[in-house]
Amino acid sequence: MNRYFILFLAIITLLFLGCKKEKTHTSPTIELRTGSEFVSEGAIVSEGKQLKFGIIVNKGDAKITNIVIKRISGTNIKTLLDKGIYEDIIDTNYIYYKDSCKSEEWLISVMDQNRNSASTSIHITKNNIISYGEIIYHPSITLGFQNNTEYPHFFDPINGKTYFTKPADNEQNTTDILVYYYTDGSMPSPTFSSPAEQDAPTYYSELDNWTKKNYTAYDYVTKVSATEFDAATNDSLLIKKYDDLWGRRKYKYAIANTIFPFKTNAGKLGIIKVISADIIDTGKITFALKMQK
């Protein structure tokens, strides 16, 4: 009798456990900022115009671990951002530029630790007006590597200023480029970087005291010819050449005749052409630069 009673209790317990509701997870939320400076649903935009997305994400019950931005035009899907993160909140802007696609969907999605996701999208149409902008041109800038005492190390491409040491707080807002030299394995590497790049303080310890540190991304894949660079008189080439997918925190092996696109912290696109580069940490590098005004 006891044996049947114990069996009965076991069956009841299993049924009870089977009927318990699974724990539900709260998904993250995502929204886009509105206002005149941000792109909006149904916008009609000229080729070459800036597209600014203000993205706000709040976590559910788990940290946000990934954000992805895709541009979809027909069967053509291009991933512009696929970034691992670990945040409770995202509140940031991303800047892109309208290309030649007649119509496109921009899909922004996030995922959390529990693999719960959220997404939002907007649709944009190209009008028939081409609207490329003016550029800044610096034909010859020379910066010194970390142990060079003759030439400055930091460059503000907007104002064309160079600095040996920490610029004033208001000037740090537009200081986007620095250079250093190191040996990558056995390979000599004149290197372009920026104040927010994680290795930069190794070469310039004063960066720890900057109040504003800009991050510049360098496209290490896209090719630009000297003929294309020299012929550029507006920002059309700059927009077409920079690919966000290949943007990295530094550009290594920047020897003479190397040409590569970049994107500043403020979303300005540019191209650098290296004229000459020493392969010693007391040396210097000379380059030409074209960037959106």
- CA–CA distance, 268 with 99 (Å, rounded to integer): 15
The residue segments making up the domain with residue 168 are 135-292
Overall domain count for the chain: 2
Which of 81, 130, 110 minimizes the C-alpha distance to 267?
A: 81
pLDDT band at residue 165 under the 50/70/90 scheme: confident
| 274 and 164 housed in the same domain | yes
Give the range among 84-93, 169-178, 217-226, 259-268 with minimum mean pLDDT. Answer: 169-178
Record the tokens describing residue 204, joined without a space: 């310039």
The torsion angles phi and psi of 4, rounded to 5 degrees, stand at -70, -35
CA 253 vs CA 6, 193, 227, 260: distances in Å: 75, 12, 21, 11
| 157 and 206 housed in the same domain | yes
**SS3 letters for 39-57?**
CCCCEEEEECCEEEEEEEE
- CA–CA distance, 262 with 69 (Å, rounded to integer): 19
- Residue 24, C-beta contacts closer than 8 angstroms, at least 6 positions apart: none
Position 211 in a domain: yes
Looking at residue 217, its amino acid is: A
Position 82 in a domain: yes
| 192 and 254 housed in the same domain | yes
| 286 and 143 housed in the same domain | yes
| 231 and 262 housed in the same domain | yes
- Coil/strand/helix, residue 259: strand
Position 13 in a domain: no
Position 18 in a domain: no
Encode pLDDT of 24-67 as tens digits: 779 999 999 999 999 999 999 999 999 999 999 999 999 999 99
Position 195 in a domain: yes
| 143 and 199 housed in the same domain | yes
Strands 217-219 and 161-163: unpaired
The torsion angles phi and psi of 83, rounded to 5 degrees, stand at -120, 130
Tell me which of 66, 95, 130 is where a domain ends: 130
What is the rounded average pLDDT for all residues in the chain? 92
Position 88 in a domain: yes
- Coil/strand/helix, residue 60: coil
| 111 and 139 housed in the same domain | no
| 179 and 275 housed in the same domain | yes
| 152 and 246 housed in the same domain | yes
What pLDDT was estimated at residue 181?
Answer: 98
Position 139 in a domain: yes
Residues 193/146, Cβ–Cβ less than 8 Å = no
Q: Can you give the CATH number for the domain in which 92 is found?
A: 2.60.40.10
| 163 and 252 housed in the same domain | yes
Position 227 in a domain: yes
Q: Is the per-residue pLDDT at 127 higher than 70?
A: yes
Q: To 5 degrees, how large is the angle CA 77–CA 79–CA 82?
A: 150
Encode pLDDT of 236-286 as tens digits: 999 999 999 999 999 999 999 999 999 999 999 999 999 999 999 999 999
| 178 and 285 housed in the same domain | yes
